[in-house]
């Protein structure tokens, strides 16, 4: 099995951003404003919320919240993604004191307790094996303030199968180019979050696009 978030995956994403640039804007030219879970989150957050986005990529989700007045800390293990993200925020006239961008992997995060009103994870932790995903979910709970919100988006297993990526174990996929997915599904993910102490606010399926969003809240 490929080493999750190891050199192969980092090389894959570095090459992807170098060769194709802002892939997320190309995939969603109208931004993430049409994502139902993100819309719900934006309605629940206070304008000056402290937001952490892991695997921020080129910043499509964070940009929507920044325009609402949020302060964003964004991390990604790809330096190329971080630079594309920074350039996007500056182009959109977001004040530089409203965002902080760091090159780091999910597994390296040490950000203390009760710092953020919201943690965002679009398509990031799905590249970790199950045990590491569970570790990250616990970290997300720790990072959040009481009643803080956690929004996670993952591709569906059927969507990844349709991409022709090999399924090496139930729900686990790997490609020759270094792509690795461990897709838990909304039901399993909801159960794990409840065990940690989250309350599930809602699950939002985008079947045509092949992913779902799950919004949860930390207990008080």
30, two tokens: 């109208």
Across the range 181-188, mean pLDDT stands at: 95
Across the range 124-146, mean pLDDT stands at: 94
Q: Is residue 98 within 8 Å of residue 127, measured between CB atoms?
A: no
Of 9 and 3, the structure prediction assigns the larger pLDDT to 9
List % helix, strand, coil for the chain (3-state, nearest 5).
40, 30, 30
Percent of the chain residues past pLDDT 90, beyond the cut: 69
Residue 187 pLDDT greater than 70, yes or no: yes
pTM here is: 0.89
Residue 7 pLDDT greater than 60, yes or no: no
pLDDT at 23: 67
Place of tokens 């004191």: 97
| Average of per-residue pLDDT values in the chain | 89
169 burial (CB, 10 Å; 0-12 / 13-18 / 19+) is exposed
218, two tokens: 């930390």
Range of lowest pLDDT (11-15, 45-49, 194-198): 11-15
Across the range 117-143, mean pLDDT stands at: 94
pLDDT at 137: 96
Domains of the chain by range and CATH?
7-218 (3.40.50.150)
Of 219 and 135, the structure prediction assigns the larger pLDDT to 135
pLDDT digits (tens, 9 = 90+) for 149-164: 999 999 999 999 998 9
pLDDT at 29: 67
pLDDT digits (tens, 9 = 90+) for 67-116: 999 999 999 988 998 999 999 999 999 999 999 999 998 888 888 889 99
Percent of the chain residues past pLDDT 70, beyond the cut: 86
Q: How would residue 216 be classed by pLDDT, with cut points 50, 70 and 90?
A: very high
DSSP bridge partners of 76: 103
pLDDT at 30: 72
């Amino acid at each position: 099995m490929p080493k999750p978030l190891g050199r192969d995956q980092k090389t894959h994403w570095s090459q992807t951003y170098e060769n194709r640039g802002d892939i997320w804007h190309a995939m969603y030219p109208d931004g993430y404003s049409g994502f139902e879970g993100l819309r719900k989150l934006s309605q629940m957050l206070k304008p000056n919320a402290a937001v952490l986005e892991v695997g921020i990529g080129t910043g499509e989700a964070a940009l929507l919240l920044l325009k609402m007045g949020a302060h964003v800390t964004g991390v990604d293990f790809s330096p190329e993604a971080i630079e594309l993200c920074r350039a996007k925020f500056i182009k959109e006239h977001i004040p530089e004191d409203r965002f902080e961008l760091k090159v780091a992997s999910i597994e390296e995060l040490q950000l203390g307790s009760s710092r953020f009103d919201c943690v965002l994870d679009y398509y990031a932790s799905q590249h970790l094996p199950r045990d590491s995903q569970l570790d990250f979910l616990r970290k997300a709970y720790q990072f959040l303030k009481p009643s803080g919100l956690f929004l996670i988006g993952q591709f569906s297993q059927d969507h990844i199968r349709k991409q022709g990526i090999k399924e090496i174990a139930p729900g686990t996929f790997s490609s020759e180019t270094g792509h690795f997915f461990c897709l838990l599904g909304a039901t399993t993910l909801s159960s794990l979050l409840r065990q940690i102490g989250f309350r599930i606010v809602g699950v939002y399926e985008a079947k045509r696009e092949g992913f779902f969003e799950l919004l949860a809240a930390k207990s008080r």
